[in-house]
Structure 1
Amino acid sequence: MSSSDPDSRLLLLMRHGKAESGSGRPDHERALADRGVTQAQLVGEYLDAQNVQVSRVLVSDAVRTTQTWEAVAAAMPGFDGEVSFHEEIYSGGAADVLALVHGVDARHPVVMVVGHEPTISTLTSLLATEDSEAGAAAQARIGMPTGATAVLSGPLQGWGSLAEASLTLHTIVRP
């Protein structure tokens, strides 16, 4: 998506791909399983095929989310946006992630967050309007499977005005 409407915003909320089991390793250090890499690549291919021009990416600083983003980006050869890594996406909740999105400059019409459950599904449900796609809204209430990406959009003057029930949830991409 690349819109000529300066107030049109697209928000992608992605749960990291399938991770390896903990096996004595700290949770923050868990890596992606092969399946998780494939899931992330498929999401990147989907975004590339849909001509989604992601301009700002906020990623949890956990190993599995960093690897998820790397696999997504590898499948989007034209990506030239800004990426930053945040501990608060790992340790915080929906309000913490929302605060990070509020801080994104309005010049970025397409923002992606790569994070964890239950934060991603909670934030998706919180932001979705009543006219959102029913199946996607139900999935968000149940929880997001690994690698799934919620696609929300709506008219916002800037990310600072993002609020409860302010974006339409169109679909949840499930690789």
Structure 2
Amino acid sequence: MSLYDDAVFVLKNYEDQEELRQRYLDHLAAHPDGMWKACGAGHVTASALVVDPQRGRVLLTLHKKLRMWLQMGGHCEPGDATLAAAALREATEESGIEALTLLPGGPLRLDRHSIPAPCNWHLDVQYAALAPPGAVELISDESLDLRWFDYDEVASVADTSVRQLMSAARAAL
């Protein structure tokens, strides 16, 4: 199964956000290259919120280009077999934490957001990744900063999308 086929399968089986889910599926049906950054009409991305439920906190990155506190995530790559694998790869690369595991059950949310040209949209499929006990983060080249925030601190630093993803992750724990 290709990454494209996996994305269609994941989205068809995602049972929430019906209208947005259908927009993702319509996008992929209209754009066979809709998984890749080169697709000018927009592309599917994968992200994961790194959660430490034992300590009641999440790890956010201060994105270098956007200068916003966000979950780890980004573009799919040819070596990604699945959306889940892409999300886990991105979370591992951007957090520096080995042995992350995705919260079972598939994606928690979808978030479609505009981005600067030449592309128009990111169609983000959002997961949660559990940090192992004693996890130590390591900042990547893609970040200005990397920081743990207590659950109740996130609302003061992050946008609506991150807050909604955090709520979904906490509900799924």
TM-score of the two chains, using structure 2 as the length reference: 0.31
- Say which structure, 1 or 2, has more relative contact order (CA 8 Å, 6+ apart): 1
- Give the structure with the higher percent strand: 2
- Give the structure with the higher percent helix: 1
